[in-house]
């Protein structure tokens, strides 16, 4: 497997303390490779359930299809007694599933998320059916504008569910970090998930590594077996804040 970046895993400026915080990869790279070996050996990511109870949606076959791979991350931490604890995460959803036992959860309540999406999608799809049955004209254009507004409102409501914490017991919303609008997928990458999990479990992060596994993505920017730093557009604006307090 090729190494194409420096040892830096991520860094970001924290607006709360005016400092740039960072994490290196170090031994987390080894833990990351061990995770991939374990996943390959089992052929699935739901490692914490017996094989007879495995979810067919969580097989590694998913990564070689139209999903075109996924990022996986590992965070090496210390607990209050100085013992090493390893956390793991996958980026975004895995085949439409947000939460898998043993993996870092998203930065929002999934129950509220699903309720919000179910109700919002229901109304948006109903409007779409009405639009499809109308000829070109003022009424159709008005319904198209209404559908767009509803979609924007739904996305705003979804973003409002996210809670971005740090290690100084501070919590902010996503909207506080993105002056020009929240990019799609912000807060859903491995690094934010891992740091959020560490905060909740009262662990102190030491090293972080993220690797891509599966079919090369369409743009060719992600290739199987390569390590990548946290992304600039989505992650860097929040990670400086999320890392604040790790030195304590």
Question: Domain coordinates of the chain in residue numbers?
Answer: 8-106+163-243, 109-161
- HSE-up of 195 (CA within 13 Å, CB side)? 35
pLDDT of residue 208: 97
pTM metric for this prediction: 0.92
pLDDT of residue 160: 96
**Do the beta carbons of residue 151 and residue 122 sit within 8 Å?**
no
Q: For tokens 């934010």, what's the residue?
A: 192
Residue 31 CB contacts under 8 Å (≥ 6 apart), including other chains: 74, 76, 86, 209
pLDDT of residue 129: 94
pLDDT of residue 23: 96
Residue 53 CB contacts under 8 Å (≥ 6 apart), including other chains: none
pLDDT of residue 247: 83
pLDDT of residue 227: 96
pLDDT of residue 67: 86
pLDDT of residue 248: 65
Digitized pLDDT (tens) for each residue of the chain, 248 residues in all:
334 446 899 999 999 899 999 999 999 999 999 999 999 999 999 999 999 999 999 999 999 988 899 999 999 999 999 999 999 999 999 999 999 999 999 999 999 999 999 999 999 999 999 999 999 999 999 999 999 999 999 999 999 999 999 999 999 999 999 988 999 999 999 999 999 999 999 999 999 999 999 999 888 889 999 999 998 899 999 999 999 999 86
**Do the beta carbons of residue 204 and residue 85 sit within 8 Å?**
no
pLDDT of residue 4: 42
Taken in order 184, 185, 191, 196, is the CA torsion positive or negative? Answer: positive
In terms of C-beta density within 10 A (0-12 exposed, 13-18 middle, 19 or more buried), how is residue 212 classed?
A: buried
pLDDT of residue 127: 93
């Amino acid at each position: 497997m090729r190494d194409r970046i420096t040892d830096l895993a991520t860094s970001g400026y924290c607006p709360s303390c005016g400092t740039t915080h960072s994490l290196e990869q170090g031994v987390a790279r080894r833990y990351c490779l061990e995770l991939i070996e374990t996943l390959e050996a089992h052929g699935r990511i739901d490692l914490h359930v017996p094989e007879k109870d495995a979810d067919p949606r969580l097989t590694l076959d998913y990564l070689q299809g139209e999903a075109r791979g996924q990022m996986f991350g590992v965070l090496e931490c210390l607990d209050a007694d100085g013992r090493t604890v390893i956390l793991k995460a996958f980026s975004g959803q895995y085949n439409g599933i947000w939460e898998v036992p043993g993996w870092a959860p998203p930065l929002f309540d999934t129950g509220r998320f699903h309720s919000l999406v179910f109700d919002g999608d229901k109304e948006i799809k109903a409007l779409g059916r009405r639009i499809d049955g109308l000829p070109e004209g003022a009424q159709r254009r008005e319904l198209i504008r209404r559908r767009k507004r509803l979609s924007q409102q739904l996305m705003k409501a979804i973003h409002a569910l996210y809670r971005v914490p740090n290690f100084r017991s501070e919590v902010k919303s996503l909207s506080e970090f993105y002056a020009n609008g929240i990019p799609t997928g912000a807060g859903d990458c491995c690094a934010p998930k891992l740091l959020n999990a560490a905060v909740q479990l009262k662990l102190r992060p030491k090293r972080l590594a993220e690797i891509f596994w599966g079919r090369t993505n369409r743009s060719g920017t992600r290739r199987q077996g390569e390590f990548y730093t946290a992304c600039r557009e989505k992650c860097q604006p929040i990670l400086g804040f999320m890392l604040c307090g790790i030195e304590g």
